[in-house]
Amino acid sequence: MHRNKHPRGTRNSRHEKKKYPFSKKIIFITTFTISFILICGGVYAIYAMQHTQKEISLPEDEEEQYEQKETSLLEKIRKKQHHEDFETTEQEKTEGNIQTLIYEPVAADSIPQLPAIKTELTTLIDIAQKNSSKKTETKLVGYVKREKINEQVFSYQPIVDTYTWDREKEDWSEKTEHGKNTAFVNQKTKQPLCLQDIFMSEANTLAIQQVVQQKLLSESPDGNAVIDGILNMPSISLDGTAFTYYSDKISLGLPENPTGKTEITLPYNEIAGYVNPEFIDADSIKDALPKPLESDKKYISLTFDDGPNPDTTPRLLDILKEKGVKATFFILGQNVVKHESLVKRVADEGHEVASHSYSHPQLTGIDAQTVKEEVQNTDKAIYHAIGKLPTDFRPPYGAVNKDVAAIIGKPIIQWSVDSQDWQSHNAQAIIKRIDETAYNDTIVLMHDIHPETVDAVSTVIDHLHAEGYEILPSKELLGKKAKPLHMYYGSNDERLVQ
């Protein structure tokens, strides 16, 4: 009955015979794969070690050349530091292929900012180490560079020189990294250079404030939109204003203002009359100031108050143009807003436009806020008319004191010859008065709102020319360096406002 069926044992044996060869094949493939991987890995490891060795080690034929140039380089580095005009100490450290040499000044008391300089030097060294290849011979040299700006100012700056061995050229390549901060030291005081050294006085800082205001307005797309904020900016402070010193210019930090600028740079030739020449590069202000008036010549300035007046000022301008004379107009803000085109003509024809307050009050008899408004409202009116702020100021009735002068923030231009036209209203009396009282280097007071004054001007000019006078605007008579908090009666009569 079961004759045609295979016994169980015989069927199992046949399956085993089929299974065994398959297992042997798996073992063979596995063994072969592992062996192949090991062999390849070994070959790669040997190659990598050889390749790395080539990058780290110098070839034997290059070793001698390298050692000679290394010795020469180190001699050069140490010789350079030895010849610096101040003594240093050397600190040496070697890690792998990177050798670091740091030179620190010995006379630390001559550099009050040395701790900050050392901190930045350490940072520069750390960055240089991180950026240096560990596989290339490198020398890092950190030191403080000292430079003589002039007799009164020395600068100190952290420097890192990186020397890297170039195998192709078989020589050192050099790269220098300068610190971002430079310390300047006043050699007289051995203290950090400060604004007091450069600007010297509050009067000079007020003058520079005017330059800053005008510069911000000139660089603004719409000066009239920002003028209020600019005129009300806090003044430059000798001890509170951040600055960056250069030998030919200075950058001043700005308080918050509508232009959004946080810093402004002023070349010294733009503020030449208000900086201490001992602390700057003399070439930076060369020819920036006008030459002194010639001692063998006579000079006088004609000034006109209270205008402009559309009935009299145009005729006066015609006379001045005919005579080739430039004058100074101390104008009232309330008249400027009424006659802007006339003010523009005054400026366009080369005359000086200066401020005489807005409504002609006696400034010493009103409160500080009103004084400020009288000054600023006139500044704005004049700026709107001619695009420039007035830089000089004549107080109504000549009345001024120290507090008022500080609010005005401009040089106070008084007079030394009074035509008394406001009293006489007579052309011949005006001519006679000036003929009798004029003298060299003086400022003449007149008013362009009086017809009689305009009637007298042509003869006044002829008489002055006949006496040998050269007629100048008051700014030129004073050498373009009059200062706030000071008042001027002539080029040789300057007084501090008390």
- List the catalytic residues: 305, 447
Instruction: Note whether 472 and 299 are within 8 A (CB).
Output: yes
Instruction: Note whether 416 and 443 are within 8 A (CB).
Output: yes
Distance CA(444)–CA(433), nearest Å, equals 11
By CB atoms closer than 10 A (0-12, 13-18, 19+), residue 418 is middle
197 Cβ contact list (under 8 Å, min separation 6): 152, 186, 276, 279
158 Cβ contact list (under 8 Å, min separation 6): 117, 118, 120, 121, 124, 142, 143, 144, 145, 178, 179, 181
Instruction: Note whether 192 and 185 are within 8 A (CB).
Output: yes
**Residue type, position 195, single letter:** L
Task: Please name the residue that has the structure tokens 């080739």.
Answer: 324
Distance CA(169)–CA(375), nearest Å, equals 70
Select from 340, 335, 325, 383 the least CA-distant residue to 357. 335
